[in-house]
Amino acid sequence: RKLFSDVVQMNVEPLCTTEFEFAKLHDAFEYLRDAKNIGKVVITQTKKLYHATGSYVVTGGLGYVGQHIAQTLYDNGAGNIILLSSSKDKLPDSWDRNFTPTVLKCNVANKNEVLGVLKNVNNLRGIFHAAGVLSDKTLPNLTKEDWEIVYGAKVQGACNIDECVTQLGLTPDFVVLCSSIASGFGGAGQGNYSAGNGALDKLARERDNFVSIRWGAWVGGGMAMDETMVRAARMGILGLDFKDAI
């Protein structure tokens, strides 16, 4: 317990690192294979990820995670930021951030709606798929509707993005799918949610410019309840702060 506490409080000296540019990813894996490393091997990305003339779409854009992604895009020089919401077509009155993105009403579970949005986006450079809802129940009590609720936004939404990008001949630099550690660790009462995130991971493995990130629980918001945070902390899984994670 003391060791864990010391690590959390950053009282332990960090391991040394060896850095490789992303372009030399192959060299990094060879370095690891040959057991030349002491400490961690770190891949660095110096290429500019966001462009002032580019457009970036965030599904679930008015949710807790979506808003933080949008803020990060703005802070790093992204040009046209488009937030998709299943229920709203304008910013809420409570919006207090230092930029004004475009908000479009779009149910990502509906392919025609996704198609209608993407075909009107100029210079699409990136998509963040952060849409998601919960319908938690123990496995014996999960109904078809519970699966459809969770799969609609998360899985069908991701598949619709994939199909529409291909259909329209778009070539975004990246499509980021917001998955969850529930995909690997599972979660109490979240069989449908865990499986849905696993579907995102599978889709990303099959596409060159897709990446699926298994986020943990967010400090200060998101879909994880307080008891979930406590239970995860007991296993050594601490909440994520957006400043560090994104």
Neighbours of 3 (CB within 10 A): 9
pLDDT digits (tens, 9 = 90+) for 159-194: 999 999 999 999 999 999 999 887 777 777 788 888
Helix (H, G, I), strand (E, B) or coil at 213: strand
- pLDDT for res 111: 97
Of the pLDDT bands very low, low, confident and very high (cuts 50, 70, 90), residue 246 is confident
Among 167, 157, 171, 152, smallest CA distance to 209 is for 171
- pLDDT for res 69: 94
- Kind and range of the H or E run holding 180: strand 174-180
- pLDDT for res 224: 55
Query: What is the helix, strand, coil percentage profile of the chain, to 5?
Result: 40, 20, 40
